[in-house]
Structure 1
Amino acid sequence: MKNINPYPSEDELPPIKTLNEVDFSALYSYADYMRFEFEERLEIIKGQLFKMSPAPSRIHQGISGNIFGPIYNALKGKNCRVYTAPFDVRLAKKSVDDKEVFTVVQPDLVVVCDQTKLDKRGCIGAPDIVVEILSPGNNKKELINKYEVYEEAGVKEYWIVSPAHKTFFRYILDENGKFQPTKMLTEGEEVTTSLIPSLKLVLEEVFQD
Structure 2
Amino acid sequence: MALAKSSFISIEEFYKMRDNSESLLEYIDGVVYMTPSPSTKHQRVSSRLQIKLGLFVEGTSCEVFGAPYDIELKREDIEGTKIVIPDISVICDKSGFTEAKYIGVPALIVEILSPSNQSHDLITKLNLYMKYGVKEYWIVNPMLESVTVYTLNDEEMYEQYDMKAIRGEVKSKILDGFSIDLEYIYK
TM-score, normalised on structure 2? 0.89
Does residue 58 of structure 1 match 2:37? no
Mapped to 1, the partners of 2:77 and 2:9 lie a distance apart of 15
Specify whether residues 28 and 126 from structure 1 end up closer, same or farther in structure 2 by C-alpha distance, changes over 3 A only.
farther
How far, CA to CA, are the matches of 1:191 and 1:163 in structure 2? 14
Q: Highest CA radius of gyration, 1 or 2?
A: 1
Q: For residues 170 and 120 of structure 1, what CA distance do their matches in structure 2 show?
A: 30
Matched letter for residue 169 of structure 1: T
Give 1:142 shift.
Answer: 0.7
Structure 1 letter corresponding to 2:31: Q
* Counterpart pick for 1:196 among 150, 175, 187: 175
List alignment gaps of at least 5 residues for structure 2: none
What is the Cα-based RMSD across aligned positions, in Å?
2.0
Percentage of matched positions with identical amino acids: 31
1:143 to 119, 122, 138: 122
Using the TM superposition, give the Cα deviation of residue 143 of structure 1 relative to its aligned residue in structure 2, in angstroms. Answer: 0.7
Q: Show the 5 A alignment for 1:1-209.
A: 23-35=4-16, 36-37=18-19, 38-53=21-36, 55-93=37-75, 101-208=80-187
What is the count of residue pairs matched by the alignment?
Answer: 183
Taking the aligned partners of 1:69 and 1:147, their CA distance within structure 2 comes to 24
Q: Is the 8 A contact 2:169 2:181 kept in 1?
A: yes
SS state of the match for residue 178, structure 2? strand
Question: 2: distance between equivalents of 1:29 and 1:158?
Answer: 28
Instruction: Spell out structure 1 runs of 4+ moving beyond 6 A.
Output: none
Structure in which a larger fraction of residues adopt strand: 2
So what's the TM-score if we normalise by structure 1? 0.80
